[in-house]
Amino acid sequence: MKQGAGATSVWDRSRRMVSREIFETAIRLFTTQGYEETTTEQIAREVGISQRTLFRYFGTKEDLVCGDQEAIGALLKKTVEEQSVDVSVWDALRTGFATIVTANHSLEETLTVSALIFRTPALRARYEQKRIRWQYDLMPVVRDRLIAQGRKGLLADHEARTVIAVSFACSDAATGTWIASNGEADLAELYDQALALTRAAP
């Protein structure tokens, strides 16, 4: 039994190492020669594997950059759900965004990946599509938190949609400015500033 468990652990570590090498190679090529100009065949060749093997690790070319968006969305939802009931929906979502920023990558890698996504139309389209799904999945979580804090019926639904939409817009605005600053600005501060601007709007 122990030997089998150990073998599985070794296999998992090996798989993670190969996955990491594929990711790092893909990001390097995408960054130096462009996303559209880089083929999965070239990435596989650089890593020393077949295209078929590459697609066992990453289902599509977009996944090489965007990663498992379903898992990231699930982590965001879980983080928001786990916040104490007395935490406002704004703060719960802020904590969720802060958690997913470095869920899979270092902050420096997240900056590189984010820049690729924001500057590549195909990647940006996939990114936005997935984030719409995240917002949909967050709706009952945020609505229930608002109801627990005293909101009722249609007001809770409307407020939940509004808070989620504004929070995501602020996240995207902060990320865009963070990319433009080449990572010099603080991402969390940029998010807070964006949120403050929406609340201060006449």
Taking the C-alpha atoms of residue 1 and residue 30, their distance in angstroms, rounded to an integer, is 43
**At residue 49, what are phi and psi to the nearest 5 degrees?**
-130, 170
184: helix, strand or coil: coil
Computed over its alpha carbons, how large is the radius of gyration of the chain? 20
**Quick one: 194 and 97 in the same domain?**
yes
**Quick one: 93 and 182 in the same domain?**
yes
CB-count exposure of residue 201 (10 Å: 0-12, 13-18, 19+) = exposed
**Quick one: 110 and 191 in the same domain?**
yes
Q: Which of 61, 88, 111 is the last residue of a domain?
A: 61
Give Cα separations from 73 to 30, 37, 39, 135 (angstroms): 24, 29, 27, 9
Question: Which pLDDT score is estimated for 138?
Answer: 97
Q: Which domain holds residue 26?
A: 2-61
**Quick one: 21 and 43 in the same domain?**
yes
Question: Which pLDDT score is estimated for 153?
Answer: 82
Question: Which pLDDT score is estimated for 151?
Answer: 86
Question: Which pLDDT score is estimated for 200?
Answer: 76
**Quick one: 136 and 41 in the same domain?**
no
User: Which CATH number is 49's domain given?
Assistant: 1.10.10.60
**Quick one: 139 and 195 in the same domain?**
yes
User: Which CATH number is 158's domain given?
Assistant: 1.10.357.10
Q: Which of 61, 93, 108 is the last residue of a domain?
A: 61
**Quick one: 165 and 92 in the same domain?**
yes
Question: Which pLDDT score is estimated for 152?
Answer: 87
Question: Which pLDDT score is estimated for 6?
Answer: 52
**Quick one: 146 and 164 in the same domain?**
yes
Count of the separate structural domains present in the chain:
2
pLDDT beneath 70, residues of the chain: 1-8, 11, 201-202
Give Cα separations from 171 to 39, 118, 123 (angstroms): 31, 13, 17
